[in-house]
Amino acid sequence: MYDDILNNTPASEQSGQQLSKEEYAAKKKEERDGVFALSEDTALAVSEDDGKFQQYLDVQSKFDRYSAVNAMLIMAQKPDATRVADFEYWKGKGGFVKRDQTGIAILEPHEYLKEDGSTGVGYNVKKVFDVSQVDTRKMQAAPPPPTYNDRQILGALISKYPMKITGVDTLPDNRGAMTDTDGTILVRKGMEFSDTFRSVAFEMACAEVATDPELSPAQEFSAYSATYLLCKKYGADTKNFQFDSASSVFKGMDAQEIRKELSQIRDTAESISGRMAKQLDAVSKAARNQDAR
């Protein structure tokens, strides 16, 4: 249905003729409209199918710097993608996109000046390619990302959190963690890394999405989904997560509302992860300084 807009060969090359300014603008609008339509269709599919919702979360976890809309677009076009960048990036690294590869269309925001003098935000279609679509034989190997042990990851999760976190011997219903009335996160002692990380991250995510002391089912689901993203990113076990009620949470929502909910999930995880990243960067810097001595 969208194959015509996802071809990475410029329209002028396809026709053998140079497009006029008006024709080029019309072509770009058609391209944008097609990508917007793909985004809407994918949002509806994600909201109606519990399995597709979890698939979306898996893609978003790999591309946590990308917006929810662009994660959905990657999912719709190349769900097995692991690392994407545009043509110029790969070229600059010494690689080149293989022949007959179809680019993954995502949306890139840009600011423009409105007639009333205010600033608006528009979107252009940008084509990116997964590393599997690139000949990397002449590329210099990228340095491996830093690795952290479980203690360092938990330390980063807890460090600089604005509310008190304290260990306790027992909690009601054998819960892993809960938030006290004063905002303190109580954590059951003696748990393994994954259980501790998951329990604390969920309480933090609940605090991020809360607008009232009592969370709505939709807010709790949003926090639960954000916790899944964090667990995927930091290596905590995700096998016990269940998303078989996802479709009921989105019931009655249109595509715009669904995108808003997905964005909140992504932004909640990013807020917590961003705070953790600062602490983990400090850990890496300290290790490098130690090695240099």
Given pLDDT bands bounded at 50, 70 and 90, which one contains residue 13?
very low
Is the pLDDT at 15 greater than 70? The verdict is no
pLDDT at residue 71 in the model: 98
As a whole number of angstroms, the distance between CA 24 and CA 44 comes to 30
Considering the domain architecture, whether residues 98 and 35 belong to the same structural domain is answered as yes
**90 or 2, which is more confident?**
90
Nearest to 224 by CA among 54, 43, 51: 54
Residues 6+ apart with CB under 8 A from 126: 86, 105, 106, 107, 108
Q: 3-state SS of 202-214?
A: HHHHHHHHCCCCC
Considering the domain architecture, whether residues 108 and 209 belong to the same structural domain is answered as no
Given pLDDT bands bounded at 50, 70 and 90, which one contains residue 189?
very high
The domain tally of the chain equals 2
Is the pLDDT at 11 greater than 90? The verdict is no
Note whether residue 141 is domain-resident. no
Over range 6-25, report the average pLDDT: 64
Run of H or E including 262: helix 255-292
* Span of 11-25, 112-126, 205-219 with lowest mean pLDDT: 11-25
Report pTM.
0.89
Q: Above pLDDT 70, what percent of the chain?
A: 93
Q: How far is CA 144 from the centre of its chain?
A: 21
Q: Are 126 and 108 a contacting pair, CB within 8 Å?
A: yes
* Span of 24-33, 181-190, 258-267 with lowest mean pLDDT: 24-33
Domain that holds residue 198: 150-292
Helices 193-209/255-292 angle, 10° precision: 130
Considering the domain architecture, whether residues 162 and 257 belong to the same structural domain is answered as yes
As a whole number of angstroms, the distance between CA 239 and CA 242 comes to 8
Is the pLDDT at 260 greater than 70? The verdict is yes
Nearest to 205 by CA among 188, 219, 192, 191: 219
Note whether residue 55 is domain-resident. yes
